[in-house]
Amino acid sequence: MNISAPCQESHSPWVLNWSKASRKPRLRLICFPFAGGNANTYRPWVDHLPSDIELLAIQLPGRGARFNEPPMAELPVLIEHITEALEPLIQMPSVFFGHSMGAIMAYEVCTTLQRSNKELPALLILSACNAPGPIQQRAALHTLPSKSFWKEVQMINGTSDDVLNNPELLELLEPSLRADFKIVYDWRQLNTQSEAPKLSVPMVLFGGKDDDSVNLEHLQMWQKCFSEIGQTHLFSGDHFFIQDPTPTFFSTLSGLLAPIG
């Protein structure tokens, strides 16, 4: 039985290291969480990646060991903190992977780095996220009363029944999830393709074949935000396909990482 690595020492509360102790890594894979998610989502990946890849994940306030910290609902402040934490880590070859809200954060960190003429990752993988542009915006979920809020969350299909049937747990999780939904809502209100800067970082798109919230057309619209056209890969599963990734997912990811570093 494979046992995922414990978290290795990290120099910032914003970044957790899930890698097994080994020689100096060839590259760093830095993963950004989806709304309501945390760094633990990516912990099992270490058993499916080459040993010379260091697996890091962003941990937001209000999750995991940072549970007692108030969640952040303002994206510019969040991006400032994450960028500051990542700058010393991307001096070696690095790849950003962001899923759903995590794709927004990864994209905005790259935008901040490029604007400041700082080092960029060797590759940016945007997963299960609609591009900025004229798409139908989901209602402002973060403003709903608690009962309506959780009814909408249940429809998104990213929360287990065990959690949804536990009122005490819902009360604990609600502030951070509301903050995440506010971040996504505000970002979509403020961003259109015409305003989005073209990034010079190489880009790849991932999507779920059965994702009802991100169709292929809206996923592909990310291409207009980059100076070079990137590949698109679709995998079995719905919006949360990374929670139960297939062998094809990991073989594709490893293949993309192989030439880097």
* pLDDT tens-place string over residues 135-180: 655 667 776 777 777 777 766 765 667 777 777 778 888 889 899 9
Residue 209 confidence class, pLDDT cut points 50, 70, 90: very high
Is position 42 within any domain?
Answer: yes
Catalytic residue, candidates 100, 146, 200, 254: 100
Residue 87 confidence class, pLDDT cut points 50, 70, 90: very high
Residue 93 confidence class, pLDDT cut points 50, 70, 90: very high
Q: Give the pLDDT of residue 141.
A: 74
Is position 68 within any domain?
Answer: yes
Share of the chain above pLDDT 90, in %: 67
Q: Which domain holds residue 83?
A: 15-135+192-257
Is position 8 within any domain?
Answer: no
- Taking residues 221-247, what's their average pLDDT? 95
Query: Could you count the other beta carbons within 10 Å of the beta carbon of residue 210?
Result: 12
Residue spans of beta strands (DSSP E) within the chain:
15-17, 27-32, 53-58, 94-99, 123-127, 203-208, 231-235
8 pLDDT higher than 80: no
Q: What is the CATH number of the domain that holds 29?
A: 3.40.50.1820
| Pairing label, strands 231-235, 94-99 | unpaired
* pLDDT tens-place string over residues 53-80: 999 999 999 999 999 999 999 999 999 9
Is position 73 within any domain?
Answer: yes
What is the average pLDDT value for the chain, to the nearest integer?
Answer: 88
Contact 37, 64 (CB under 8 A): no
- Taking residues 216-240, what's their average pLDDT? 95
4 pLDDT higher than 50: no
217 pLDDT higher than 90: yes
Residue-by-residue DSSP string for 222-257: GGGGBSS--EEEEESSSTTGGGS--HHHHHHHHHHH
**What predicted TM-score, i.e. pTM, was given to this entire model?**
0.90
Q: Give the pLDDT of residue 160.
A: 67
- Report which DSSP code applies to 192: -
Is position 197 within any domain?
Answer: yes
**Coil, strand or helix: which one is 154?**
helix
| Pairing label, strands 15-17, 53-58 | antiparallel
Measured CA to CA, the distance from residue 182 to residue 141 in angstroms comes to 8
Share of the chain above pLDDT 70, in %: 86
Is position 214 within any domain?
Answer: yes
Q: Give the pLDDT of residue 151.
A: 78
Question: How many domains does one find in the chain?
Answer: 1
Is position 163 within any domain?
Answer: no
Is position 239 within any domain?
Answer: yes
Is residue 100 flagged as an active site residue? yes
Q: Give the pLDDT of residue 134.
A: 63
